[in-house]
Structure 1
Amino acid sequence: MASIWGGHRGTMHDYPGFSPSVDAEAIRKAIRGIGTEEKTLISILTERTNAQRQLIVREYQAAYGKELKDDLKGDLSGHFKQLMVALVTPPAVFDAKQLKKSMKGVGTSEQALIEVLTTRTSRQMKEIAQAYYTVYKKSLGDDISSETSGDFRKALLTLADGRRDESLKVDEHLAKKDAQILYNAGENRWGTDEDKFTEILCLRSYPHLKLTFDEYRNISQKDIEDSIKGELSGHFEDLLLAIVHCARNMPAFLAARLHQALKGAGTDEFTLNRIMVSRSEIDLLDIRAEFKKHYGYSLYSAIKSDTSGDYELTLLKICGGDD
């Protein structure tokens, strides 16, 4: 079933001979038994697509009168629990929850906000905004507005609106024009016209931006990244750089985020879970390839050396193989 949440470069595919009732029963047994049979849970939930998992969730509720996610929460713990709950959550709801978490509590996790809002398509963003309202009875825009400020806020709100052009057709004439506008808004004047940057970088399609950045280089003899770093600052700068990175190569952008989450002291499980789960049916194969290319070792080996137990097993199954 093609959905706006699927791609052709994922590691997870529909399970052949799938039966939601058989799976629901096996999961129920695994949870009810003396001690949970984690291996059964892992093998079922990592070998089904999200669409199939949603059917298991429905079947489970119908047969046992319980929410599968609540039973998983009651039975599992730690990062493993979070990952398993993520797997049974519909994609738009999962993203809505990630956005909420990144705006909750002490301070805002701007990097998570930036990552979700720059890597989702317009159609996905519209579904996420709907899910957000359904779950929290508040609009995503209102929460972004109260948690952020200035040009950063303006740009985030533009992205959250899901108005980025999705067409794959690129107009060379318009790309030249946009490049000139960016040049005039930054390098070519005193002070910077931030609104022009927001307008072009948050509304134009990624293929169009890629060409625009090539044209920009011809005009200014500089990479757009360098101009952004020189002209702008703070989270607004981070956001625009993320957009540039995504336009040039989104799997490489996400590989860099995973590398950051897995290196050094302590693992950033919040980021690790989000990217592994949300990209598992879209482009995780490409993310794996970029990871290997840029860092010289595989994502699989990075997960292996940085996590443990059932959590590690689940992540490796989602990863789908070594490179």
Structure 2
Amino acid sequence: MSQYPGQGYQGGYGAPPPQQGWNQPPPGQYGQPPPNQWGQPPSQGYPPPQQGQYPPPQQGQYPPPQQWGGSPAPPNAYGAPPPNAYGAAPPQQPGYGAPPPQQQGWGAPPPGAPGYPPQQPQYGAPSPQPGYGAPPPQPYGAPPAHSGPPTQPSLGYGPMQTANIDVTRDIEAIRKAMKGFGTDEKALITVMSKKDPIQMNTIRTQFDQRLMRNLIADLEKETSGYFEKGLVQIARGPLAGDCWTLYTAMKGLGTKEAALDDVLVGRSNADINAIKTEYQRIFKKSLEADLRGDLSAGTEQMYMMIASARRAEDSAPVIPQQIEADVTELNRSIGSIVTKNSSQVCDLLISRNDAQLRAIAQAYQTRFRTSLLKAIKDKFSGHMEDALVLLIARAVNRPEAEAERLEDAMSGLGTKDDLLVQRVVRCHWDQGFMRQVSDAYKRKYGKSLVKRIEGETRGDYEKLMVACVQ
């Protein structure tokens, strides 16, 4: 079981990629903000992972203690980002710390609000590696003021994709499951369903190198249907998986807007930049060019803003004067169906971080006695409405937003299996976040997410989805 945030989503991935169970750190540790910080969720925040460099395996020792089979990787694993990564609030330092005491309370939910998310595993800053650097000059103006230090990339999106860990047993188990007559589907599920991004990328890379084969091609040959799609989505890892989801959403006639929203809405600058770089590497063309080719008018402009990766970093503070100005501007720009300024609404909301969006939503409710979500739903429609609603929903309560996305894939006549596979796999990269999504689903719909999936899927496809959720 991975101890690191994944989707997010966050994507979410959310939600936007910390220790098993997301245990609550003592006050003041891990860069946690003080109580009632502006725009800050209650105290059950995600602690950041304590990571260093995974030690090389010793001769004859496999696997390392407490790593495989869904157990959390040991502390100081994989050489991942330093403390305050993956959504933990930064230390309270002059220039971007907490506002003065008299400004407390903005954007914070009611004390003890059920299901309110911790500070989310947002997708972090561009890595120092070539290809993950600062974005080129963008057409949508300067980044928001007080943007703060960059957020670290999600696990699997930074420069380090693999680790020096012994995956011999997993490689042999996967090869054995597909070798010869028939396929051992149960073995594939057991090996692949609980790996974190670094483990899975290491397995795929070494499988291809050691056996002179291609894991993705072997899975496509030996399995079929949505079971195959789920295994392939896992084998690709979160970054390449996101790129393929975007590509298939825009391939052929029509555009699968929900898949675009799943991957890109509410992501941090670093993960957007990583996705753009990997998309270019895989498909030899830019993500922006494909988005322009499939979208038009306001939605095209909105997605160019998202792809520009100029969102305020998670460390940027919530400044009350700015929140009040944002609420005034939003109310003016939302206006009426005739007078609304869609571009201004999109630019403002897309450029704010989650804490700022929570504060804006709270202040909007207080001032106008109606929710910001309702105002957007009343005045917008179609894909732009869906994307803006998801952006705010993920900022306010990311686990619940992902639970709603999962239910949407299963509700109505027939199951939207492609979306269900993508959404389950995206959440499963961080098992702690997956549990939060399951809990949020139970609270909102009064039923178990596992039981719901079992009622909508069959066979090995069902078993793989359930293994990812549990």
Determine if the TM-score, normalized by the shorter chain, exceeds 0.5: yes
**Are 2:434 and 1:279 equivalent residues in the alignment?**
no
Which whole-Å CA distance do the structure 2 matches of 1:190 and 1:120 have between them? 31
Match of 1:150 in 2: 297
- 1:254 partner letter: E
**Are 2:445 and 1:298 equivalent residues in the alignment?**
no
**Are 2:322 and 1:174 equivalent residues in the alignment?**
yes
Gaps of 5+ in 1: none
Q: Percent identity between the aligned chains?
A: 28
Shift of residue 87, structure 1, vs aligned partner: 0.9
Instruction: Select the structure that is richer in helix.
Output: 1
Q: Is the 8 A contact 1:96 1:131 kept in 2?
A: yes
For residue 257 of structure 1, the aligned residue among 405, 415, 418 is: 405
Which whole-Å CA distance do the structure 1 matches of 2:177 and 2:361 have between them? 53
Q: How does 1:183-222 map to 2 (within 5 A)?
A: 183-187=331-335, 191-222=339-370
Q: Is the 8 A contact 2:337 2:379 kept in 1?
A: no
Q: How many residues align?
A: 319
Q: How does 1:2-13 map to 2 (within 5 A)?
A: 5=6, 6=17
Which whole-Å CA distance do the structure 1 matches of 2:377 and 2:337 have between them? 16
Shift of residue 192, structure 1, vs aligned partner: 0.9
Which whole-Å CA distance do the structure 1 matches of 2:342 and 2:413 have between them? 36
- 1:68 partner letter: L
Match of 1:48 in 2: 195
Shift of residue 71, structure 1, vs aligned partner: 0.7
Q: How does 1:17-56 map to 2 (within 5 A)?
A: 19-56=166-203
Shift of residue 12, structure 1, vs aligned partner: 5.4
Shift of residue 186, structure 1, vs aligned partner: 2.3
Runs of 4+, deviation exceeding 6 Å: 1-4
C-alpha RMSD of the superposition: 2.2
Specify whether residues 257 and 2 from structure 1 end up closer, same or farther in structure 2 by C-alpha distance, changes over 3 A only: closer
Deviations 1:98-137 (Å, cap 9, x if unpaired)? 1111111121111111222114332211111111111111
TM-score, normalisation: structure 2: 0.64
Specify whether residues 186 and 119 from structure 1 end up closer, same or farther in structure 2 by C-alpha distance, changes over 3 A only: closer
TM-score, normalisation: structure 1: 0.92
Structure 1 range deviating more: 3-12 or 71-80: 3-12
Q: Is the 8 A contact 1:14 1:49 kept in 2?
A: no
Specify whether residues 202 and 90 from structure 1 end up closer, same or farther in structure 2 by C-alpha distance, changes over 3 A only: same
Other structure's SS at 1:303 match? helix
Deviations 1:300-322 (Å, cap 9, x if unpaired)? 101111111111111111101xx
Other structure's SS at 2:171 match? helix
Which whole-Å CA distance do the structure 1 matches of 2:280 and 2:189 have between them? 31
- 1:234 partner letter: G
Match of 1:86 in 2: 233
Structure 1 range deviating more: 136-145 or 47-56: 47-56
Gaps of 5+ in 2: 7-16, 23-68, 75-164
Deviations 1:129-156 (Å, cap 9, x if unpaired)? 1111111111111111111111211111
For residue 137 of structure 1, the aligned residue among 272, 284, 289 is: 284
- 1:251 partner letter: P
Which whole-Å CA distance do the structure 2 matches of 1:57 and 1:179 have between them? 48
For residue 128 of structure 1, the aligned residue among 259, 266, 275 is: 275
Match of 2:311 in 1: 164
